[in-house]
Amino acid sequence: MRLRIFCGLSTVLCCAVATAWASDQSTLKPVVNAAGKTLSFDWPMVRVGTAEYEEGPTGVTVFHFGRKVLGAVDVRGGGPGTVNTDFLRLGYDAPELDAVVFAGGSWYGLEATTAVASALKDDGIRDGGWMTLALSVGAIIYDLGDRRLNEIYPDKQLAQAAFRGAQPGVFPLGPYGAGRLAKSGGYFGCNAHSGQGGAFRQIGDLKIAAFTVVNALGVVTNRDGSIASCYRDPTWPKSLSAAELSAGLPDSRKPGWKGPSMQADAKRNTTISLVVTNQVMTPAELQRLAVQVHTSMARGIQPFATEFDGDVLYAVSTGELPKSEPLQITSADIGIIASDVMWDAILASQPEQPVAAQPDKRLKLKGDQLEPLAGTYIFSEFAKISVTARENRLFAQATGARDAFAIRRAAPVELLPVSATEFAVPGRYPLTVKFEEGKVVLNPGRWQQIGKRE
C-alpha cells in the first residue's frame, strides 16, 4: 500500500495515511459568536449562540429559551431535513421545548440538534425524568456541493460550543452561524451570498422576533419588488424585478435573456426560520401563526417552497404575557405583525456582496515572478488545482474529482494579474485567487477556500 503525506487545513500537523485526506474533525476549533452587523433586542428569555468552522466554512445557530416553551412547526418545500418535527405536530398544550437549532452541513448537520439536547443534560439543566427530558428541535440547510471545496459539517463539538456560548439580546446578521455559507437566487442563476437575518418588534408589552437562514432557490425581494442580491447576467436590464424574472420563464433562466419584451446547486436549497412571541397562545393559535408567517415569506423570496427547497418554520410562545380581557391585540393581529417582521428578517439576511478583483492590464509579470507560484494545491480529498507558468502567463486547472469554481477540469484557465500575488478569473461569478506562503486562497474573505501546497 502506497502512503501519501499531507497537511490538513486546520493544523500544520502532517500525517502519513493510506488515503489523501482524513475525515477527522476533532482538530477543528469552533469560532463562537463571531459577528459583524448584529440585531440587538431586549428579551432575556431568548438566548442565541452561534459557532462556525472557518475551514468549511459552515456553522450552527442555537436558540435556547430560559424555560420550557410551547412550540409548533410548519414544513414547506420538497427537501426538508429536521429533527423532532412530528412531536411538535401533536398539539400538546404543555410547554416542553428547550431549544431550536439551525445548522449547515445538510443531513450530516442534524447531529447538531441532538448534541444540544445532550448538552442540556450534561450541564445539569435537564435530566432523565419523564417531564424534564431535554427537547431540542432543528433543521438544516444544504451548504455542500460545488459552493465549497470540502465537506466539513457542523458536528457535536460545534453545536455544543454554540449552545454554551448563547447570550440574550444579540443576533449576528449575514454570513454567521448556520448562515455561514448560505446562498440565494440559484433558480435564476443569481447565486448571491446570503446568510441569517433577524428582526424584532415590541408593541407595548408584546414582543415578536423573527429569525431566518435564507438559503433559498428563489431571489430575495425588496418591498418594492426589486431584487435584493444577485450576480446578474450581463444581458439583463439594469432595472429588473423578481416578478419580471418569473414572468419571463423559462427564457429568464437561460443565458443571454435580455429581459421582458418592451412590446404589450443550484437544486438543494432551504430557508429555515423561527418566529417567537411572548404572548400566551394555544397550540392551535401557535400552529396558525406558523402557517401564516411561513406563507407570507413568499413575498420576500420568489419563488418560495419549490420542490428543491426544504423550508421549515418554527413558532414559539414563551408564555410571558397573559392574554388581557378584552383582547388588545388578537392572535390574528400577531400573525400579520409577525409576517411583516419576518420580511424584515429576510432582508437583513443579505450581506454586502464581495466586489470582484479587477485585473491590471498594465501589469506584466515575468516568468521568475510567476514560477514560484506554480505547483499543486490541495483543498480536500476531492479538490485540488494545478498551477503552471508559461510564456510569462499563469494558468490553473482543476485536477481533483471536482471543478474548483471557475477553475475547471476540462481545460486550463488563465489567471489575470491584479498584483504580483493576486489574480482574477473574470466572469458572471468572478473568482479571486491569492497566493500566500505555502497556500492559495480562493475568494479571500468570509467565503474563502484555502488550498495547501502539495
Active-site residue set? 270
Backbone angles phi, psi at 209, to 5 degrees: -130, 145
Sequence-ordered strand ranges (E) for 173-295: 183-184, 192-193, 196-203, 206-215, 219-220, 270-279
- Residues, the chain, total? 454
Three-state SS at 390: strand
Pairing state of beta strands 413-417 and 422-425?
antiparallel
Residues 6+ apart with CB under 8 A from 403: 146, 409
If we measure between CA atoms, which residue out of 82, 109, 151 comes closest to residue 310? 82
Q: What are the DSSP calls for 60-93, one per residue?
A: EEEEEEEEEEEEEEEE-SS---EESHHHHTT---
DSSP state, 255? T
Burial class (CB in 10 A: 0-12, 13-18, 19+), 133: middle
Cα distances (Å, whole numbers) of residue 88 to 100, 136, 223, 305, 317: 12, 11, 32, 20, 13
Nearest-angstrom CA–CA distance, 276 and 99: 12
Would you give the distance in Å from CA 225 to the centre of its chain?
23
DSSP state, 13? -
Q: Report the 10 Å Cβ neighbour count for 388.
A: 16
* CB contact at 8 A, 238 and 74: no
